[in-house]
Structure 1
Amino acid sequence: MKVLPFKIPKSSNHALIFQEDLEPIFYDKLHQHAEIQMSYILSGSGTLLVGDTVSRFKPGDVLVFGENLPHVFRSDANHQGLCHMLTLFFNREGFGHDFFETEELKELDLFFKQASSGFRIADVDARFKREFIRLRSLANLERFMSFIKLLYEIHNTSKELLSNFTNKTNYTDTEGQRMSNVFDYCLSHFKERITLDEIAEIAVMSPTAFCRFFKERTNKTFNQFLLELRIEHACQLLRTPDNQEAISSIAYTCGFNSVSNFNRYFKKQKGVSPRTYKTTETQ
């Protein structure tokens, strides 16, 4: 299967594509596409990889991914019920080459710049969510008008950037399959010890060539990426109110070989100790 690039099915004369996903898990292969993606998650949670960064997705998130920005959703295995997401796909030139260059719309330049890194809308109000949900029942012209309204709302809302790596990387099929295999293996085995030789074998490369390949495409070392993945999983466990697991146990559960290493890397990435994070997030 050619994972990258990913083709959004659409007819030649539609500039907006609306898609509703209601599945046990979201599509969980690393992919990128030429269209900008705006998604609203109604249910489902898990790990989110965008560009060079690992984070989490959860119900209520509104996420925007720019054109050709690699990303993957990995739904939590213990999620109850179906994962539900509404998405709009569009291309900046899909409305005409100069549509967004008009004086009336040029202030949206910041939206497209931030989309190239991917972002999460930090504070989405109920009115915005209702408008997004309404998209599925609207005809073409009404949907377009609603889309412009949503763009305006997003433009005036604070955002959390999801990635630091803004290089637009158009993967070949071989590169895309290789990166997908690496991410898929890490998402499934990050709780275990993963050696450089082991992950290089997954990529069908020598360890030296793999290190160079991974750094060029993510702007970080493989060890940095693996640490981020483990820390994000630890955050999920720490902020779960009914999880009484000791911090030392969480450290080993997430793949760390010592509590001191876990505490050090956690504070370096999150700015606070695991204990402080747990106290703050579960209050």
Structure 2
Amino acid sequence: MKAVEVHLPQDVDKSFIVFRETGDFFPAPWHYHPHYEFVLINESTGRRMVGDHIGYFQKDDLVFMGSLLPHVWVNDPIYLQRQATHKADALVIHFTDDFLGEFFMNIPEMKEFRKVLKLADRGLVLYGETRQKIITLIKQMPAMNGLPRLSALLQIFDIMSNTTEYDFLASPRFVQNFQYGASDRFKKITGYIMQNFDKDISLSEIAAVGNMGVTAFCNFFKEQFRVTFVEYLTTVRIGHACKLLSEHDRNIVEVAYECGFNNLANFNRQFKKLKGMTPSDYRKTLIIR
């Protein structure tokens, strides 16, 4: 079973990813990525494979995994056959070791957490009071923005730095023998998107950045990012729109065009689809009370 490199969409105005995975079952293949990852199961059951470890997951299962460690969560047949009474649901946090700058993880205050990052190379399943404290924080994070969101993650780092309530998953032999280099191709693609999202980007143009044909690129992008190129580009544009809306020096039409939308109605529709409210309502929520 060959592991594929997978990446979740990240808002342009956020330094790390908080992602909700929900559906009839968890669709991700056996995969890896350069990010560190927390996975919290809100609902559903099944088997999880982390490296060469196979275990069983259920509600409130919480795992922390290191960079490039291959893994997959496979739901029980009742979910795969769409016969469960509730959806599979999980919260996922992704961050890189330099998400707060090249030197952040090397400051003295992060000494103990650096040890945790090393332990996470094998994957850690958390239990006890540690698990309950972190679950409480993770469940609050989808509704958070700005410093409260970052503060919640740093609190999780602190909890992880002062606990022994975990078990290892993958064996040391597996970690030592498993080597993957993160692909430069996706870095070129995402870099190009971040520099040009305010312009029209054709499929042939972005495919050429990855040195691929259009069909191969579309398949690659969906496999790597779990969304289509258009969906990812829209997420980046809406994330930047949120930043511009918070600055209050542009009207909504200007924001739409600066983010690459040539049609205001489409901007409003896509914004509401991703954020659950119109751009004007979003701006109202940012007014200091």
Contact 2:113 2:160 in 1 (8 A): no
The answer to whether structure 1 residue 56 and structure 2 residue 56 are counterparts is yes
Amino acid at match of 1:163: A
Q: Match of 1:136?
A: 142
CA distance in 2, matches of 1:30, 1:122: 24
Contact 1:26 1:83 in 2 (8 A): yes
CA distance in 1, matches of 2:162, 2:154: 13
Q: Secondary structure at the match of 2:32?
A: coil
Q: Match of 2:45?
A: 45
Amino acid at match of 1:31: H
Correspondence 1:213-232 to 2 at 5 A? none
Contact 1:121 1:154 in 2 (8 A): no
Amino acid at match of 2:50: V
Correspondence 1:224-243 to 2 at 5 A? none
Q: Match of 1:166?
A: 175
Amino acid at match of 1:103: P
Cα pair distance change 1:77/1:156, threshold 3 Å: same
CA distance in 2, matches of 1:106, 1:166: 22
Cα pair distance change 1:156/1:36, threshold 3 Å: same
Q: Match of 1:189?
A: none
CA distance in 1, matches of 2:11, 2:28: 25
Q: Match of 1:277?
A: none
Q: Match of 1:112?
A: 117
Q: Match of 1:9?
A: 9
Gaps of 5+ in 2: 184-289
CA distance in 1, matches of 2:161, 2:145: 24
What TM-score do the two structures reach when normalised by structure 1? 0.56
CA distance in 1, matches of 2:54, 2:101: 34
Q: Secondary structure at the match of 1:96?
A: coil
CA distance in 2, matches of 1:18, 1:113: 22
Amino acid at match of 2:46: G
CA distance in 2, matches of 1:152, 1:146: 10
Cα pair distance change 1:3/1:47, threshold 3 Å: same
CA distance in 2, matches of 1:51, 1:162: 8
Query: What displacement does 1:69 show?
Result: 0.6
Contact 1:44 1:58 in 2 (8 A): yes
CA distance in 2, matches of 1:145, 1:151: 10
Q: Secondary structure at the match of 2:8?
A: coil
Cα pair distance change 1:55/1:143, threshold 3 Å: same
Amino acid at match of 1:170: Y
After superposition, the CA RMSD in angstroms is 2.1
- Judge which range, 74-83 or 34-43, deviates more: 74-83
Cα pair distance change 1:3/1:12, threshold 3 Å: farther
The answer to whether structure 1 residue 147 and structure 2 residue 157 are counterparts is no
Cα pair distance change 1:154/1:41, threshold 3 Å: same
Contact 2:3 2:70 in 1 (8 A): no
Amino acid at match of 2:162: N
Query: What displacement does 1:12 show?
Result: 5.4
Query: What displacement does 1:162 show?
Result: 1.0
Percent of aligned pairs with the same amino acid = 20
CA distance in 1, matches of 2:148, 2:11: 18
Q: Secondary structure at the match of 1:134?
A: helix
CA distance in 2, matches of 1:125, 1:28: 24
Gaps of 5+ in 1: 174-283
The answer to whether structure 1 residue 156 and structure 2 residue 166 are counterparts is no
CA distance in 2, matches of 1:172, 1:19: 21
Query: What displacement does 1:154 show?
Result: 2.2
Q: How many residues of Structure 1 are paired with residues of Structure 2 in the alignment?
A: 172
Cα pair distance change 1:171/1:160, threshold 3 Å: same
Contact 1:33 1:67 in 2 (8 A): yes
Q: Match of 1:75?
A: 75
The answer to whether structure 1 residue 24 and structure 2 residue 24 are counterparts is yes
